[in-house]
Amino acid sequence: MKTIALILARGGSKGIPNKNLQMVAGIPLLEYSINAAKYSNVDEVWISTDSSHIKTLSKSFGINVIDRPNELAKDTSPSEDALLHFAENEDFDVLVFIQPTSPLLRPLYINEGIEMLKDYDSVFSAYKEHWLPRWSLGGLPINFDNNDRPRRQDKDEVYVENGAFYITTKGRLLNSRVRVSGNIGVYEMPFGDSFQVDTWEDLKLLEKLV
List residues with catalytic annotation.
Answer: 149
Tell me the three state secondary structure of residue 47: strand
**Residue 184 CB partners (closer than 8 Å, separation 6+):** 120, 121, 122, 123, 124
Tell me the three state secondary structure of residue 58: helix
Strands (E), 130-197: 158-169, 184-188
Query: Largest Cα–Cα distance in the chain?
Result: 59
What letter does residue 144 receive in the DSSP assignment?
A: S
Q: Dihedrals φ, ψ of 37, to 5°?
A: -70, -45
What is the Cα–Cα distance from 58 to 60, expressed in whole angstroms? 5
In 3D, which of 99, 107, 106 has the Cα closest to residue 10? 99
In this structure, are residues 61 and 34 in contact, taking their beta carbons and an 8 Å threshold? Answer: yes
> What residues does 141 pair with on adjacent strands?
135
In 3D, which of 7, 97, 93, 84 has the Cα closest to residue 51? 7
**Residue 156 CB partners (closer than 8 Å, separation 6+):** 131
